[in-house]
Amino acid sequence: MDDAIVFTLNGKQVRYAGSATARLLDVLREDYRLTGVKCGCREGECGACSVILDGRLANSCMVAMGRVDGGTVTTIEGYRETARFKALDEAYASVAAVQCGYCIPGMVLASECILAKNPHPSEAEIRVGISGNLCRCTGYNAIVKAIGIAAKEGEGLW
């Protein structure tokens, strides 16, 4: 019997033979070398480690490996290859929504989850959507603006 945890990681099926109680965050960074997944707090307070798990945003620091068995995980490295990323990338750049960048991988994946659920979000909905992703540089306004621009410029992608 195959004892490994099997899941889809950035579009490819992978088998993880380690502990089911290990943190997804640590496994992504250390075993799969996906260092775009950032570690800020390890307790679900900052959102820097956000990934998309089975189509929804998740803090990878609060997910044990057994939970992803049979599931789908997308990190910024996988998302980077999509047309939707390109629209967000350009929108963020157009209003200088990135300063130090540490929160940005999580922020971009949170942006994706906002737009996937609602391609035309209001400003209030955008703010709720990124409310678990802390940014200490920008003051959020540029990020909120960027998500609105991506929704407009990327019309039809979501």
**Residues binding another protein (CB under 8 A):** 3-5, 17-21, 23, 43-45, 47, 50, 53, 56-59, 61-67, 69-70, 110, 113, 128-129, 131-133
Q: Amino acid identity, residue 133?
A: N
Give, in order, the Cα–Cα distances in Å from 120 to each of 37, 60, 91, 124, 149.
27, 27, 15, 12, 10
Report the residue number, 48 or 146, with the smaller CB distance to another protein: 48
Report the residue number, 64 or 157, with the smaller CB distance to another protein: 64
Report the residue number, 12 or 43, with the smaller CB distance to another protein: 43
Burial class (CB in 10 A: 0-12, 13-18, 19+), 4: exposed
Report the residue number, 55 or 101, with the smaller CB distance to another protein: 55
3-state secondary structure of 23: strand
* Least distance from another protein to the Cβ atom of residue 50, Å: 6
Cα angle at 73 between 69 and 74, to 5 degrees?
A: 170
